[in-house]
Chain A
Amino acid sequence: MTSTAPLQDTSTSLHGDTPVVAGGHGDFRLFGLATFLVADGMTFAGFFAAYLTFRAVNPLPEGGNYELELLLPTINTVVLIISSFTFHRAGKECRGGNLGASRLWLAITAALGAAFLAGQMVEYFSLPFSLTDNLFASTFYALTGFHGLHVTLGVICITIVALQTRAGGRISASDHFGLEAAELYWHFVDGIWVVLYGILYLL
């Protein structure tokens, strides 16, 4: 039956005067972000499935079997993986209270992300095929382009977070949701790239 036992803090007090972050429930914004990333990952999964089916059932046109250049994308892969570690380092410094060091690592991470994008641009311009040449070409650009969009967004977020670590900014040793969110997102984008690299370049 129904009981109304009094409880301490059950409210998320969203409409009161005191802004309470997530009441007595702990912070679940990262949980929300993770759920969103699952959704985002499903978009990639759909693209991957389409690409693999195309490869399996649609033979490439005569003379259209392009061997992708491996060197640049491999360097790019290494760059992204390193950037995951530098971001991790930035988070550690932030939680330890060294906002300056954190900012430096964030800057390095953003630079690595930008380097990745530059590498992708170079690759695009050196490829012998363009978007509408054939099915393989279209899927190649759609997949890498969609991922590149994610990296671009990530670099922007990292830059913003880095700016927020300055004195009086929104990020501190005790309150660093923005940084953790960006970090989760960045690891996700890196992970997707590793899968993408495997499917697109190695398979």
Chain B
Amino acid sequence: MTLANPSDFNGSLQPQGWLKYFSFSLDHKVIGLQYLVCGFIFYLIGGALAGVIRTELASPISDFVSRETYNEVLTLHGTVMIFLWIVPVVNGAFGNYLIPFYVGARDMAFPRLNAVAFWLIPPAGILLISSYFIAGAAAQSGWTAYPPLSLTTPAAGQVVWILSVLLLGGSSIFGGINFIATVLKLRRPGLKLMQLPMYCWAMLGTSILVVLSTPVLAGTLILLSFDIIAHTGFFNPALGGNVVVYQHLFWFYSHPAVYIMVLPAFGLVSEILPVHARKPLFGYTTMVYSIMAIVFLGLIVWAHHMFTSGTPPWMRLFFTIATSFIAVPTGIKFFNWLATLWGGKIALNSAMLFSCAFIVNFVFGGITGVALAQVPFDIHVHDTYFVVGHFHYIVYGGTVFVIFGSLYHWYPKFTGRMLNEDLGRLHFLLTFIGFNLCFAPQHWLGLNGMPRRVAEYDPAFTTLNQISSVGALLMAISTLPLLINVVLTAINGKVAGDNPWNALTPEWLTSSPPPVENWLGEAPLVTEPYGYGQKQEVTP
């Protein structure tokens, strides 16, 4: 992680052209795109697994895959989507690409550490998925790996699962350290913290969460692997252990993990909205404070996942109140985004469609979240499809929508070419309809009592499940226009120019794609990244 003599890895020794994306590059832009493409491949894999799940659930009787396979597919799906798609892409890909531009630097603070963080991911992902073949069985206990289930299902797959999650956690921590150092220490002289684009703040908050919570998950999983391999009894009630301690430690990471997935998305949306509405980001200062409030509250609310685990009443009360409080900073951000759009000259292009849909989806997921924080309600719907519907509105309707929006917004910067808008709008339409068809009915399923993580269900639930499966099919189809778009555009897309959106943030003040050290001359000093709609505004 030393900065001394990085030129060994660059210049003549470094492959040029597209080959550089397959090498140990130190350029933050190359690493960012490596994260993006790698993550997208895992998204396709995770999506195929979701396809298996929804096919199985299209009929009430288990006939498509066996129950063991269903559990393996469910576990792999959750793990792949969280640890190999959302977290790496929304942090690693966009963070690496944008943060150095935003702080006015030529690269991240620790380029070599950065490359190591990325290159941990493909092996970990391959390890995870190949556990299905090499270990004879993949992990079956869901992405939460709750004991004693994870202690009684086949051990080999579970151990491989733990190992790959540990590698991915390490990657995440290295990334987090790098972002913190870059934002706090590598700013161009003269650039103040309160002048940074909002995504920097979001990544700073996210990285604080990563650094504080991921190690706890790592420690927990190490103890769990002792239980499996060495037959210790930390979490094994049969040996005097305590499963609730596992849950506490697990959710101390995994609740903040929700914000590790969604705070960067908040940041990205805050970059996209002002550009396409031609208005300054409303309430910059409150946005910053609300991010930090979310970081703090996010760290102390984990036990709302454990209301049915025998937690004492005072704990339930505390965690209900603390959780409900998160609605305040989140609501502030929501109204700030609305105020940013209010009266703006809105261009409803694909980037904007995805971003606005994010706001809608996220509000819905947020409201069901506040409902879930209330103990009596949670006890009613715990471990039902209501929960599945809720968190997919957050992770898919929130984060994945933003990832797509960001792709349309920054693709011209990545490649120098524009994505096709018609295909983009088709992609949006299919995704939006498919998403809501797929996950909205799950709330009713849950309210009526359909449990999650089951391969067979009461035939009374058939219709809603079939609607949900049709939605999933639409979502699968929706990736086609996206893939076609990217391939066609790469061949003969419209040339974008340096700044197709007339944006003011620093990444647009250089060529597209940018040169190796980001700017040919000095890094520009951008102190008002959102100064739209002021005197000498130029309309695109």
Please tell me if the beta carbons of B526 and A46 are within 8 angstroms of each other in the complex: no
Q: How near does chain B come to A114, taking the closest CB pair, in angstroms?
A: 25
A67 to B179, CA, bound (A): 46
Q: Which of A14-22, A76-84, A150-158 contacts B (4 or more CB under 8 A)?
A: A14-22
Q: How near does chain B come to A139, taking the closest CB pair, in angstroms?
A: 7
Cβ 8 A contact of A4, one of B7, B522, B534 = B522
Residues of A contacting B516 in the complex (Cβ-Cβ under 8 angstroms) = 15
B531 part of interface (Cβ distance < 8 Å):
yes
Given the known inter-chain contacts A28-B186, A32-B109, please indicate yes or no for A10 contacting B212, CB distance below 8 A.
no
Please tell me if the beta carbons of B107 and A7 are within 8 angstroms of each other in the complex: no
Closest to B109 in A: A28
A20 to B213, CA, bound (A): 34
Please tell me if the beta carbons of A15 and B7 are within 8 angstroms of each other in the complex: yes
Closest to B105 in A: A12
Given the known inter-chain contacts A43-B216, A46-B219, please indicate yes or no for A36 contacting B240, CB distance below 8 A.
no
Residues of B contacting A1 in the complex (Cβ-Cβ under 8 angstroms) = 504, 528, 531, 534, 536
A43 to B528, CA, bound (A): 40
Closest to A4 in B: B524
B421 part of interface (Cβ distance < 8 Å):
no
A177 to B184, CA, bound (A): 20
A167 part of interface (Cβ distance < 8 Å):
no
Residues of A contacting B186 in the complex (Cβ-Cβ under 8 angstroms) = 12, 25, 28
A-B contact count (CB 8 A): 182
A49 to B302, CA, bound (A): 15
A126 part of interface (Cβ distance < 8 Å):
no
A20 to B522, CA, bound (A): 16
Residues of A contacting B6 in the complex (Cβ-Cβ under 8 angstroms) = 14-15, 19
A residues 11-42 in Cβ contact with B at 8 Å? 11-26, 28-29, 31-32, 35-36, 38-42
A68 part of interface (Cβ distance < 8 Å):
no
Q: How near does chain B come to A72, taking the closest CB pair, in angstroms?
A: 24
Please tell me if the beta carbons of B214 and A12 are within 8 angstroms of each other in the complex: no
Closest to B524 in A: A4
Please tell me if the beta carbons of A28 and B111 are within 8 angstroms of each other in the complex: no
A residues 120-151 in Cβ contact with B at 8 Å? 131-132, 134-135, 138-139, 142, 146
Please tell me if the beta carbons of B177 and A32 are within 8 angstroms of each other in the complex: yes
Please tell me if the beta carbons of B106 and A12 are within 8 angstroms of each other in the complex: yes
Cβ 8 A contact of A132, one of B26, B190, B232, B252 = B232
Given the known inter-chain contacts A7-B522, A43-B216, please indicate yes or no for A14 contacting B3, CB distance below 8 A.
yes
Please tell me if the beta carbons of A14 and B26 are within 8 angstroms of each other in the complex: yes
Please tell me if the beta carbons of A135 and B241 are within 8 angstroms of each other in the complex: yes
Please tell me if the beta carbons of B233 and A4 are within 8 angstroms of each other in the complex: no
Q: How near does chain B come to A36, taking the closest CB pair, in angstroms?
A: 6
Q: What per-residue 1/0 map shows which CB atoms of B499-540 lie under 8 Å from chain A?
A: 000001000010000001100001111111001001010000
A70 part of interface (Cβ distance < 8 Å):
no
Residues of A contacting B231 in the complex (Cβ-Cβ under 8 angstroms) = 132
Residues of A contacting B212 in the complex (Cβ-Cβ under 8 angstroms) = 38-39, 42
8 A-B contacts, Cβ less than 8 Å apart? A10-B104, A12-B107, A16-B7, A17-B11, A32-B1, A50-B223, A142-B232, A142-B234
| Additional pairs, 5, CB under 8 Å, beyond known A3-B525, A32-B109, A132-B239 | A15-B11, A28-B185, A35-B176, A142-B226, A142-B234
The 8 closest A-B pairs by CB, nearest first: A46-B216, A43-B215, A138-B232, A28-B185, A42-B215, A46-B219, A19-B5, A43-B219
